[in-house]
Amino acid sequence: MTRPFRFGVNLMTPAERSRWREKCRTAEALGYDVIKVPDHLGMPAPFPALIAAAEATERPRLGTFVLNSAFWNPTLLAREVATTDQLTGGRLELGLGTGYVRAEHDAAGLPFGKPGERVSHLQRTVEELDRWYASDDFVPQPLQRPRPPLLIGGNGDRILRLTARHADIAAFSGARTDPDDPSGPPIMLTADQLDERVAAYRRFAADRAEPAELNLLVHSVEVADDRRAALRPYLPRLAHLGEDEALDLPVLLLGTVRQMADQLRAQRERYGFSYITVLEPAMEAFAPVIEELRGE
């Protein structure tokens, strides 16, 4: 089944009330279906930012992209999610991940567990949310029942199994942490490596009654007549790739609006990605692509 495209923008820069409302209204006017907020120190606090976004807009859904589950006690998170869903009129999409920035945990005085420990905490969080929302004794309850749509982001097998069991949306960042430099910039997955990760997810999700929506985070959008020229500034960060392989990276959109739209059509056919998220700096540059793909 081919899903229609949906488009989200992750708003990462804090702003006072009037400027924040203006950004959210701009995202709505540009055609974005989902306004999202990350969960990193130095960026807006997700839940109040989404409530403010709901008050400034009418159509878009509101999402966390993604909550660092290690920052959150599951029971207190259940209260935050339910209250936010109520105050946004049932427009919330809950995105969860393990967290990957050790420096943020250190700054917050929180333990930064080993990868397996962080995945286990994410699993407990998902299970606790479902348990609380199934209990008539838990107050408040989310407006959307049994809970807001759940997005889980990650690439590892344990995360993908968890996503296959619980998530309505499977989110792929198209990148992985460098094991030799865990605090450094992520390493982008090649087209074939992303193929393998999506195939692994599909194996784990083979017995689902309904397939999940697949989300891809686009790292950069560059409108240009010459794709190779647009790629050159990125090459120092892609030293492990040849130029043709770098041009084929799913998370880079380089070229004309038509070329970018065609790339997303091809990636939906190849991988199943119908829900596309861009970062705030690309919000306006990507808008013509939304117009090109609207209704497909």
- For the chain, the domains span 6-293
Q: What is the mean pLDDT of each run of 10 residues along the chain (296 residues)?
A: 94 98 98 98 98 98 97 98 98 96 91 93 98 97 98 95 98 83 77 96 96 96 96 90 94 98 98 98 98 96
Q: How many CB atoms lie within 10 A of CB 15?
A: 15
Give the per-residue pLDDT at 237.
87
pTM score > 0.75 for this model?
A: yes
Helices of type H across 226-282 = 227-231, 243-247, 257-271
Q: Does residue 38 contact residue 67 with C-beta atoms inside 8 Å? A: no
CATH of domain 6-293: 3.20.20.30
Give the per-residue pLDDT at 157.
96
3-state secondary structure 70-120: HHCCHHHHHHHHHHHHHHCCCCEEEEEECCCCHHHHHHHCCCCCCHHHHHH
Give the per-residue pLDDT at 184.
65
